[in-house]
Amino acid sequence: MVKIGMMIGNRYEILEKIGTGGMSDVYKAKCHKLNRFVAVKVLKQEFSENSNFVSKFRTEAQSAAGLMHPNIVNVYDVGEDNGIYFIVMELVEGITLKKYIEKKSRLGFKESVSIAIQVCMGIQAAHNNHIIHRDIKPQNIIISKEGKVKVTDFGIAKAATSNTITSNVMGSVHYTSPEQARGGYSDEKSDVHSMGITLFEMLTGRVPFNGETTVAIAIKHIQEEIASPRDFVPEIPASVDGIVLKCCQKSPDRRYQNMAELIADLKQSLMNPDEDFVVVNSPVATGGTVVITEGEVEQIKKATGYQDDVPVKPETMRLREKEQEEDEYVDGEEEDGDDYDYDPKMERITTILAIVIAIIICIFVLIIGVKVFQKIESSKNAGSPISTEESKQVILPGVTEKSDEQVVEKVEMPELRGYTVENARNTLTEMGLKSKVEYEESDTVDAGLIISANVTAGSEMVKGSTVILTASAGPQGVEVPAVVNLSYEEAENKLTAEGFEVLQMEAYSDTMPAGIVAAQVPVGGSKAPRETTVTLTVSLGSEIKKVKVPGLLGLSEMDATVILTESKLSIGSVSYVYSGYPVGQVCFQSQGADTWLDQGAAIDIQVSQGPAPVKVTYKCNLSIDSPAAEDPAYTSGSPVSLKLVASDGTVLLETGSVTSFPHSANYTNLNASSGKLTLTYTVTSDPTVDEEGNTIPGESETKTITREVAFTVE
């Protein structure tokens, strides 16, 4: 049993209990070897003798031990001490995201997206190591006092190395994916779904599905479509709303396929929140609302630990609940799990009502579809839209005359034969029509005049339509060389050689290198009279926009990340240094504020760890006396070996034959505050005379004296 003050693994001193979970307790401890505070997760005593629980506990440690990332609670050590199984982790002092949401009711979209980006980065690191978390929820996300977001509790994570993974542990049912609820295969896209539910809760302050029992909630995850977050908070931007809905698609194929895709859209939403750039993948053949079978219902019941009409022993139910409640630790806080009361009759009624509602919806959709089809058919039989000469407008079928947005304006096509190309195009433009010119040789019409148009004069045309004009190239019209994809110099030489004039225009292009012709008018292969001006659009290359670097000094790391993203810049390397800035604030940025950089450039930052610790050094001014003070048998003048060793192991003095005392020893700039002096010498006893009068020499004995020496601060 773990007690406060006890030592585990000969290095971890247990200081206080800071949290508890289904299978383990979490303690704050001090590592005496590295002199730092850590969190120690200890397997509960009632499980330590169960081989299955011990195996699961070790699996948790092995899954998390290989993950080293700023957005993951790092695991330092794992071991066993006299039957106590423990994992040593990074101690994060802060608050869980669940508590943070409860304190603020709901979070703003920028804060929600910024937190989600950091969480996704941590999960992405796990996925890159073939580890799926399977229990993403606000209770398992910690926001440290410095604002750093970290993912923890890989309690039900497993290495995703096989093609069929079935987990009996569902995690928290409010955040589970449909495939997890069915007890089937789950992969990285299951974590994407749970991340979407977590983002939904951050934005709205509530979970999308609730119910009387875990089974009822799981069925909703399988059968019901998630509501739009904007239904609860209308000011949520369209892009963020789309990201949540894409994450929470029932079919895994319609979600983000990996965390990298999700992170990219989250960052884009910070820069362009109101743009509709989220694209949901095409539905698979089995897409749409799925009505689960009775077998699947039973499978869900088994996964959640419930059985109809079969009494469950309290001990068994308690163990099942503990497996499903891996609540995360917080320094000084304890997370409470969700409790659910299971009522078999209510669960059956809920299931039947859900099926009946689904059938009613299907019938309603079918009726609407038939009516729409009938309207379409009647519209086809009704013929073309009715036009009136007075208004020269047409009213579309099914649109009232009062709907100004649906009215199509028409104009009368003028007679343009004999006009110059320039005058004809100007006339059409003033009428709201577009034009395109084609040239053909003519012996009867002068070069540059309109021969005909593809629309008869007097006909009515919808504004915005395009009229194709045929102009005369004269009797000596020649083919215009195709010069697109050539350099401007090559194109100019080719055209002037055929007698054409050249007009250069420039434009940015993401697909064409700088200096290359991207377009020409008239187009290559058409015919035009000599001396016709050919307009060439020459590429300037990709448009590189410059952005101003914001000032980051004094901001938290999270705020700096958000501001850089909003400024269309990216954050480069992040390092932690000692400085005069408060702990957690940015104290250095690689590019100065108000300078201009290319859009997307990376800015390196340094985050303060506070002032550097003051180094204390010591000095030793020692006058060493002879051993006579401790040993009267020592004879003055006898040689003595001296050895002085500092407490950090540094040997300061080592000499073999000192005969004159006191002996001086002076040292400075020492890191240790004390040392140990050893004096080694030989003492010879006086000779003796035996009964026969013979002199017996004295015996020699080597002696050692140790003295503790205290150093003084310099």
Query: What is the CA 595 to chain-centroid distance, rounded?
Result: 28
Q: Strand runs (DSSP E) across 415-512, as ranges?
A: 434-440, 450-453, 460-462, 466-472, 478-479, 501-507
Tokens representing residue 5 in the block: 């003050």
Q: Say which residue, 373 or 12, is predicted with more confidence.
A: 12
Long-range CB contact pairs, 553-557, < 8 A, 24+: 553/581, 553/585, 553/586, 553/587, 553/588, 553/589, 553/593, 554/581, 554/585, 554/586, 555/585, 555/586, 556/146, 556/147, 556/584, 556/585, 556/586, 557/146, 557/147, 557/148, 557/584, 557/586, 557/605, 557/607
* Number of alpha carbons in the 13 Å side-chain half-sphere of residue 456: 2
Choice among 293-297, 315-319, 590-594, 692-696 with the minimum mean pLDDT: 315-319
CA 698 – CA 81 distance, rounded (Å): 55
> What is the model's pLDDT at position 385?
39
- In the chain, % of residues over pLDDT 90: 28
Interior CA angle at 541 toward 538 and 543, to 5°? 120
Choice among 77-81, 140-144, 515-519, 619-623 with the minimum mean pLDDT: 77-81
Kindly tell me if the per-residue pLDDT of 287 is higher than 70. Answer: no
The predicted model gives 182-194 an average pLDDT of: 84
> What is the model's pLDDT at position 398?
37
Is residue 285 very low, low, confident or very high in pLDDT (cuts 50, 70, 90)?
very low
Quick: pLDDT tens for 84-103.
888 898 898 888 899 999 98
Kindly tell me if the per-residue pLDDT of 591 is higher than 80. Answer: yes
The predicted model gives 170-194 an average pLDDT of: 81
Q: Strand runs (DSSP E) across 286-349, as ranges?
A: 329-330, 333-334
> What is the model's pLDDT at position 301?
57
> What is the model's pLDDT at position 131?
85
Is residue 282 very low, low, confident or very high in pLDDT (cuts 50, 70, 90)?
low
Choice among 239-248, 312-321, 511-520 with the minimum mean pLDDT: 312-321
Closest CA to 527 of 448, 491, 473: 473
Are 88 and 223 in contact by the 8 Å Cβ rule? The answer is: no
Closest CA to 304 of 181, 209, 132, 210: 181
Query: What is the CA 305 to chain-centroid distance, rounded?
Result: 33
Closest CA to 549 of 490, 608, 592: 592
> What is the model's pLDDT at position 235?
92
| Cβ neighbours around 66 below 10 Å, total | 12
> What is the model's pLDDT at position 167?
37
Q: Say which residue, 19 or 640, is predicted with more confidence.
A: 640
Is residue 200 very low, low, confident or very high in pLDDT (cuts 50, 70, 90)?
very high
Q: Say which residue, 256 or 656, is predicted with more confidence.
A: 256
| Cβ neighbours around 652 below 10 Å, total | 19
Choice among 45-49, 376-380, 603-607, 617-621 with the minimum mean pLDDT: 376-380
Are 567 and 548 in contact by the 8 Å Cβ rule? The answer is: yes
DSSP 3-state assignment of 55? helix
Among all chains, which residue has been given the structure tokens 């005058």?
Answer: 423
> What is the model's pLDDT at position 296?
56
Q: Say which residue, 74 or 675, is predicted with more confidence.
A: 675
Q: Say which residue, 542 or 376, is predicted with more confidence.
A: 542
The predicted model gives 551-562 an average pLDDT of: 89
Interior CA angle at 397 toward 394 and 399, to 5°? 80
Is residue 346 very low, low, confident or very high in pLDDT (cuts 50, 70, 90)?
low
Q: Say which residue, 342 or 496, is predicted with more confidence.
A: 496
The predicted model gives 369-394 an average pLDDT of: 50
Quick: pLDDT tens for 410-438.
899 999 999 998 899 889 988 989 888 88
Kindly tell me if the per-residue pLDDT of 325 is higher than 50. Answer: no
> What is the model's pLDDT at position 446?
83
Q: Which of 25, 81, 135, 598 is catalytic?
A: 135
> What is the model's pLDDT at position 699?
83
In order of 27, 157, 308, 332, 454, the CA distances from 18 in angstroms are 5, 23, 38, 5, 82
Among all chains, which residue has been given the structure tokens 């194109």?
Answer: 491
CA 184 – CA 411 distance, rounded (Å): 63
Q: Of 327-336, 487-496, 627-636, give the range with the top mean pLDDT.
A: 487-496
Closest CA to 466 of 438, 447, 446: 438
Are 140 and 328 in contact by the 8 Å Cβ rule? The answer is: yes
> What DSSP string describes 245-287?
HHHT-SSGGGS-SSHHHHHHHHHHHHHSTT-----PPPPPTT-
The predicted model gives 107-127 an average pLDDT of: 92
309 as an active site residue: the answer is: no
Closest CA to 286 of 314, 254, 258, 327: 254
The predicted model gives 70-86 an average pLDDT of: 86
Q: Of 286-295, 334-343, 560-569, give the range with the top mean pLDDT.
A: 560-569
> What is the model's pLDDT at position 242?
94
Q: Say which residue, 581 or 445, is predicted with more confidence.
A: 581
> What is the model's pLDDT at position 319?
42
Q: Say which residue, 653 or 216, is predicted with more confidence.
A: 653
Average per-residue pLDDT in the chain? 80
Contacts of 703 by beta carbon, 8 Å cutoff, 6+ apart: 627, 631, 634, 680, 681, 682, 683
> What is the model's pLDDT at position 69?
87
> What is the model's pLDDT at position 384?
38
Quick: pLDDT tens for 639-649.
999 999 999 99
The model's pTM is 0.43
Kindly tell me if the per-residue pLDDT of 355 is higher than 50. Answer: yes
